[in-house]
Amino acid sequence: MSAKAKRQREDSKLATPPVPGNKVRSAPASPEANRITELRVTGHLMMLDTGLFCVFETPGAANGHDASGLPGVRISLPPRPKDRPESVSISTFRPDGWLSGGAALVRVAEGPAQVLVTVYQSPQQGPESAPRLQVLKLSGDSGAPAQGTAEPAAMARKESDRAAAVKEPEVVAHVQRTGDVGAKVGEWVGKPGSGLWIEGFGIAPKNGVPAEDVEYQAVLGRDWLSPWVEGGKFCGSRGMALPLLGIKVRLKGATAKDYDCRYSATFIDGSSIGPVNAGEPCETESLAALEAFQIELHPRGSVSAKEKKPPAKRRTAARAR
């Protein structure tokens, strides 16, 4: 027998034939094969004019989020935006860019401009679970008042059964589930301890202080402020269920030389801030919703006879940033 034949014979002995009736097992599927899920994704191009806009989910919409956190919405620029992409800036409450029940601020410096709205859903979620979005214009390009602007004399509703209303309010706030309430400068507007947040406000002082010498902003999120609003105009929204998270007030012109301004606030988490000086934000570290606030104007160098502070049981160790 040749050497080659011997090698073939030895190889045939080492090879084990499959046992009849046994199935040869295949290699297990890679775990990565089941880690990818195709999502339901829809996109919309939204055209916005010049101005500042707030995009948010419609209050009360039941989106039925699953374990993955979907559905979710992202606001972004198109992949190849037309015109000047730097003319559009987008900010969200969350640093990762998701809307997630919050809101996004879109500032268009030179409109019209397109913004991409993308909705992500899991395969099990139908079209009815997609978030319903709403767009609120906070300011325009011509210096026109923002939506909801009212004249000072008409900022408060004239309802005889509303104890908080005054004939000529100097400060007006739109309170959750309550409506517009008014007060004088130095008085609290909104009710400390009520747990109801403020959605917007306006300031129109009397007694020789021109309304145009007062400006104010609303805190909308961390490091987010609305545009400066001139005295007598409304800042914020009405009936949109969008709480303000704080305020910021400053004086200008001759009033800034003759008067000192400071303000205090309470928040729905039970904390209180203030008084803080003009130009400083009055907000909590946790960015709780604004509940009530007090604006004080005193002639420069004078001292208030009595500081009107929130009830002692409501005060906490929070501080203004």
| pLDDT tens-digit map of 242-266 | 789 999 999 999 999 999 999 999 9
Least confident of 112-116, 117-121, 124-128: 124-128
**Residue 105: what pLDDT?**
84
In a domain, 146, yes or no: no
Q: Is there a single domain that holds both residue 128 and residue 159? A: no
In a domain, 157, yes or no: yes
Structure tokens at 19: 């046992």
Q: Is there a single domain that holds both residue 166 and residue 228? A: yes
The DSSP element (H or E) to which 8 belongs, if any, is helix 3-14
**Whether residue 2 has pLDDT greater than 90:** no
Structure tokens at 250: 């400053």
For residue 180, name the pLDDT band (cuts at 50, 70, 90): very high
Question: Where in the sequence is the domain holding 125, given as residue range(s)?
Answer: 38-139
**Whether residue 159 has pLDDT greater than 80:** no
Q: Is there a single domain that holds both residue 163 and residue 133? A: no
**Residue 149: what pLDDT?**
36
**Whether residue 321 has pLDDT greater than 60:** no
> Helices then strands (H, E): number in the chain?
2, 20
Highest mean pLDDT among 18-27, 43-52, 88-97, 210-219: 210-219
d(CA 179, CA 311): 23
**Whether residue 319 has pLDDT greater than 50:** no
Mean pLDDT of the chain, nearest integer: 76
